[in-house]
Structure 1
Amino acid sequence: MLDDFVIRAVLAGMGLALAAAPLGCFVVWRRMAYFGDATAHAAILGVALSLTFSVSIFVGVMGVALVMAFTVSSLSGRGFAMDTMLGVLAHSALAFGLVAASFLSGIRIDLMAYLFGDILAVMPHDLGIIWGGGGLVVALLIWRWSALLTATLNPDLAYAEGVDPRREQMVLNIALAIVVAVAIKVVGALLITAMLIIPAAAARPITRTPEMMALLAGGFACASVVGGIRAAWVFDTPTGPTIVCFVALLFAITVTLGQFLARR
């Protein structure tokens, strides 16, 4: 079955969707969209370093993403405006990554594949990395769900219940780094944030509980993977961007439906 590249693409997309969508709910609730964008941009620097030192792309990207997370955490609250700091780090990491890639001699690198993804080129060993990383993120979210939710809703209440909000923030940062590392092959660095935010945003207008929002976001993301790959096959369009377009249409539908139900 895995000899069929379309089946591999669907499985890869599902593995990413099931991890990114529930994590994206916390990104939406905490208004961390720009942080996710900065981490995704840093992935290109991780790709360049991986090729330079001949290590796994997954290891290099996750390492750079973790460095980005720890840097942001250490600089926050020290007189830096968060949006300004993230803008500097995001675009600096992307620029350094592109410049470093240009110095790679004797190594063929397809920057478009890393920027926008190449899900149809996923190999069987890539599926193991994607599903392994995605499973780790899902397990981490299930394990820390209550603490993460409490720290997100009310940091003071979290302290009262013995939960350290900064520790839970670091858990989210680690989970985000893992998702970025597994998503670089599927949708690319420039579209990772879309797969984090749009499914969660699409589920928000028509759900009433955090758990339902996370489950519905995962369902929307999986449906977008299947629908996007099918649409890309029919219309001969880039697969990664088509998947994002599909989930964007779902967002438009749910927002319209949510407004209609609110009026009723």
Structure 2
Amino acid sequence: MTRFEGKTALVTGGRSGIGRAIALRLRDEGARVFTAQRSEDTEFEHVCADFSDSAALAKVISAVITASGRLDVLVNNAGLMQEASVEDMTLEDWQRSLTVNLTAPFLLVKHALPHLRVTKGTIVNVGSIEGIGCNPHHAAYAASKAGLHGLTRAIAVDHGQDGIRCNAVAPGWIDTDLNLDFISAQPDVEAFRRNIGKIHPVGRTGAPKEVAALVAFLAAEESGFITGQIYTVDGGRMSRLSLP
């Protein structure tokens, strides 16, 4: 398929994990793909940026426009997770989570809108099932992802008239390198794998490419009547009630 032939996409956090899978999928379907993250990317054209530095985000968009002359797809994937309860989290850590996970996507969208308006482009935000529920000690992460879901709907409402669509995906447990390393560090790896699989009705955890497939669909013209939606990609985890 070449759904993105002649189009330019920016994927933040595209060097690894879900972001890399998205970048590969969009490139495989014809897009010219740029990634943006703190470090260099040897696979894609890239922009190095610290997402906690608000001044750097306008430069990310301008760098893509300077190189390509257009922007058709913006995927806000970069984020961070810090573990602490509300009581134990410092204000500095709280603000850093919100800055990277919520304010950075807001600013990237803000700076990208004039260019997306020209191309009738699309925005896909990578939220989380923790924007709907919450794991222990993820207060800031859950709050920031819930905020990103709300921002997704607001952008869709405000800019649908400009021909711009905005949706979000909310992944559950996905086998990124980070999660696989976490599993490998468990005392009984096989038992952990069995248990983590059991909480999903499909009986397993997800793959980055499965998230990327949905992102590509939402970014493509065939989803032209879909906007302001949050799609869970969680193997049915959020649909299953615990036993009494």
Larger relative contact order (CA 8 Å, sep ≥ 6): 1
Both structures adopt the same fold (TM-score exceeding 0.5) = no
Q: Which has the higher strand share?
A: 2
Q: Which has the higher helix share?
A: 1
TM-score normalized with structure 1 length: 0.29
TM-score normalized with structure 2 length: 0.30
